[in-house]
Amino acid sequence: MARIIVVTSGKGGVGKTTTSASISTGLAKRGHKTVVIDFDVGLRNLDLIMNCERRVVYDFVNVIQGDASLNQALIRDKRVDTLYILPASQTREKEALTKEGVEKVINELSETFDYIVCDSPAGIEHGALMALYYADEAVVVTNPEVSSVRDSDRILGILQSKSRRAEMGQDPVKEHLLLTRYNPDRVEKGEMLSVADVEEILAIPLLGVIPESQVVLNASNQGTPVILEDQSDAGQAYDDAVARLLGEEREHRFMSSQKKGFFARMFKG
Amino acid sequence: MTDALQANDRPAFQLKGTTVSLTALELAYFDEDSFEAALREKIRQAPGFFRDIPIIISLDHYEGPTAELDFFKLLGICRRHSIHVVGVRGGDDDQRRLARHAAIAILPSGGRQDRPTSPEAAPEAGAPAETTPEHATESAPATPAAARIVSQPVRSGQQVYAPEGDLIILAPVQAGAEVLAAGNIHVYGPLRGRALAGVHGQESARVFCQSLEAELVSIAGHYKISEDLQERGWKAPVQIQLRDDLLVVTPLDRSPG
């Protein structure tokens, strides 16, 4: 049985797809057979970030509608060979994701994969509900600002009431907070909420803090999951997050501003 | 009937006795405009509570002239505000006849068994409500009002409602969430959303919380919004009660003076 992890947030643009790409890559790198599904039907992005957009033949909706088999639609990652991508359809509507259809695909994937990562679309409508419905765990991606925090709170409420686990009365979906685009300098100036603020409001365990970084943007543009940039702080922060997701204890990093040394200040400003 | 049919056949329905707690609209007089205005005001205070609720019209305290009791207009107003009138209780024979003309069910009068709504008659907080075994068609609450206990955070967009007794929440009530109770509301965590106690009009209801950060607090329809709550007990443990139609916030480390 695969473990099903949804990456969700409510609010758009906070880093769900970046996170899905990195978490799935991180799990696969550790030897777990992992598939990442793009639920954002109509606004397909994951394939770009995973750099497989030129290899998409069939998509998630084709499989649901029986036009293609899973094996035809799954794309094997070129960097990590235990990682597969199931791309979203760009030409369909979110309503093409039926509960039965999604269940069928997830059940079939469960037979061969260890982890299924579901990259949720923004919002709280059908597409997002389908992405979280079958989840065992949820990574709630939040930026350190009030509107993102409130939307995360909303999505946590939906996880508790509308997921399959909630409807069946099973153990609740395991929730993780992932704080992205964190900038300690701006926190110090009072321009951003601090980790403690967000943790206090949302009251769920902290999976990791991803610092705001130019590396993230560059990696996206190049189609590299940022976790593979293992020299960068953002890449290392994602690696920590994946380790914690697998139960490892790791100290949180990148939460305070690094005092720049004399030379760094001289040469970088 | 074939064997196969018999084997599968379950009766289409069964009749069972049941007890339902309903909100009674205690009508003092009926004037189309003032009725609608009052209703609109009530709904404004707790829109979530009033959406599609069933109510009964109680005539036990009706003082207006019977001739003014226009059930068709009254039903029309209620319907416009998504309130469903399921029956009429009390009243004299003429009034009941008017109700029957408007195709409203007539319920037995239950005045004496009603939960008191005036502060004088209200039981002390925590005291069990009176228990009276009642027939299915009667409308007054029959079981002691059990408290509803919630241990999960109430998240933005969620609504938790205790229609009969107290509501006890052992977690935060987040901004954008709404908690409602017929009785008291206890929040053992920060209260950041909206809390409406005494939604059936129980003015002795109170709201307790460990940190007052609420968007709105209401007791029996009297409310204060966040802006007006800042001066006293903000972000501190408090209780809120109604005194002379005013919401009074008292820090919990001091005795209510």
Question: A238: closest CA among A254, A222, A223?
Answer: A254
Q: Which residues of A touch B (CB under 8 A)?
A: 124, 150-151, 153-154, 156-158, 160-161, 172, 201, 203
Minimal C-alpha gap between B151 and chain A (Å)? 12
Chain A interface mutation, best of B151, B152, B154, B156, highest count of A Cβ atoms under 10 Å: B156
Confidence (pLDDT) at B54? 84
The residue to which tokens 């765990």 are assigned? A137
- Establish if B123 touches chain A: CB-CB under 8 angstroms: no
- Establish if B191 touches chain A: CB-CB under 8 angstroms: no
Confidence (pLDDT) at A107? 97
Q: What is the pLDDT of residues B139-171, one digit of tens each?
A: 455 556 789 999 999 999 999 999 999 999 999
Question: A144: closest CA among A5, A254, A20, A259?
Answer: A254
Among A153, A172, A203, the residue with its CB nearest the CB of B156 is: A153
> Average pLDDT, whole number, for chain B?
81
Q: How confident is the model at residue A235 (pLDDT cuts 50, 70, 90)?
A: very high
Q: Is the pLDDT of residue B96 over 50?
A: yes
Q: Which residues of A touch B156 (CB under 8 A)?
A: 150-151, 153-154, 157
3-state secondary structure string across chain A = CCEEEEEECCCCCCCHHHHHHHHHHHHHHCCCCEEEEECCCCCCCHHHHCCCHHHCCCCHHHHHCCCCCHHHHCEECCCCCCEEEECCCCCCCHHHCCHHHHHHHHHHHHHHCCEEEEECCCCCCHHHHHHHHCCCEEEEEECCCHHHHHHHHHHHHHHHHHCHHHHHCCCCCEEEEEEEEECHHHHHCCCCCCHHHHHHHHCCCEEEEEECCHHHHHHHHHCCCHHHCCCCHHHHHHHHHHHHHCCCCCCCCCCCCCCCCHHHHHHHC
Nearest CA in chain B to A156: B155
Q: Is the pLDDT of residue B111 over 80?
A: no
Minimal C-alpha gap between B203 and chain A (Å)? 31
Q: How confident is the model at residue A262 (pLDDT cuts 50, 70, 90)?
A: low
Distance separating alpha carbons of residues A179 and A188, to the nearest angstrom? 16
Kindly give, in sequence order, each residue whose CB lies less than 8 Å from that of residue B38, ignoring residues fewer than 6 positions away.
none
Q: Is the pLDDT of residue B236 over 80?
A: yes
* Subunit contact B171:A157, Cβ cutoff 8 A: no
Which range (A69-78, A201-210, B76-85) has the least confidence? Answer: B76-85
Q: How confident is the model at residue B67 (pLDDT cuts 50, 70, 90)?
A: confident
Confidence (pLDDT) at B144? 66
Q: Which residues of A touch B176 (CB under 8 A)?
A: 150, 153-154
A42-to-A84, A88, B62, B172 alpha-carbon distances in Å: 20, 7, 60, 37
Q: Is the pLDDT of residue B97 over 90?
A: no
> Average pLDDT, whole number, for chain A?
93
Nearest CA in chain A to B155: A157
Distance separating alpha carbons of residues B192 and B217, to the nearest angstrom? 10
Q: Is the pLDDT of residue B118 over 60?
A: no
Among A124, A150, A172, the residue with its CB nearest the CB of B175 is: A150
* Subunit contact A161:B174, Cβ cutoff 8 A: no
Q: What is the pLDDT of residues B51-65, one digit of tens each?
A: 788 888 888 888 888
Nearest CA in chain B to A146: B175
Confidence (pLDDT) at A261? 58
Q: What is the pLDDT of residues A174-221, one digit of tens each?
A: 999 999 999 999 999 999 999 999 999 999 999 999 999 999 999 999
Report yes or no on whether pTM surpasses 0.95. no
Nearest CA in chain B to A172: B152
CB pairs under 8 A between A and B: 36
Longest dimension (CA), chain A: 62
Q: What is the pLDDT of residues A83-132, one digit of tens each?
A: 999 999 888 888 899 999 999 999 999 999 999 999 999 999 999 999 99
Q: Which residues of B touch A199 (CB under 8 A)?
A: none
B198-to-A7, B34, B132, B182, B243 alpha-carbon distances in Å: 40, 23, 21, 4, 14
Nearest CA in chain B to A157: B155
Question: B99: closest CA among B111, B112, B85, B113?
Answer: B85
